[in-house]
Structure 1
């Protein structure tokens, strides 16, 4: 019997049609590839991948599993293709569940974490003078993560949030902001 991907039995005719569907994104063109070194991307990646598979009317569990493996970075695929949920390829939901079990913190990140906030800081650091768009994106992502940590149970105080916020800013930018604030206070003490 011929084998297809990862030692699984070859696709039947219907599975081949699903695999080759023109409605699916091509691996290196429009498909988003998952990298296990960025586990916080797991949930959005799975959601987007499932939406693409559904839009292309891919029903076969085997094809769905192999497509998700195909849409992983090579080193990530190498790790995950050995999972029992892949070698049996009988239930996509079990495969989806297994991926989420491997990265539980990334999936249950509704409460947030300091690590998540630090990832945002590292992603944008250093933000220099004149990088308004970058600063705007940082503000949005930082606020989302910080808000998670400031709802019950509160993990960070306001002073800790401000201190962490400044970590991504270049020292020259921080100095510039402080100077402007001092000038505003001197010209209008009611501010």
Structure 2
């Protein structure tokens, strides 16, 4: 069984098991299965506008996928008390430690780890500012997000990292036992 077959099988069910909590990526379509409900997930192509809220929203989606990768590796698709406990702990772990963990686990390559760390420096600066004019992005040289070229470079790098992160997630997702999962 594969992701498309699993999605088709649960869409056909009147009642979906509440024991499953899983973000699903099937080609260009994302879903989130939680508490017996299948909802649409994120758009595979993130759109980022030149404003603080849009930038923070994009980082929030990326951080969500970080946590889902960790969940897949540790507890799989479980939606039991261990899931709630892990989500609680993950909220306490700073993003830079998660990025480092992915490097240690060999989920992220060293270059991708550096790129993620640079991107999340923007997130940290954005959280503590009122406007993007106070935020710089430093892939090599310092670029202001208030400039068109600086913001465009940031968005291009962010979207590239998002694409890589989606591929990493799909690799982790492929390790699930879909046959067993479809029997829940």
TM-score grouping bracket, smaller chain normalisation? under 0.3
| Greater RCO structure (CA 8 Å; 6+ sep) | 2
Counting strand residues as a fraction of each chain, which structure ranks higher?
Answer: 2
* TM-score of the pair, normalised by structure 2: 0.24
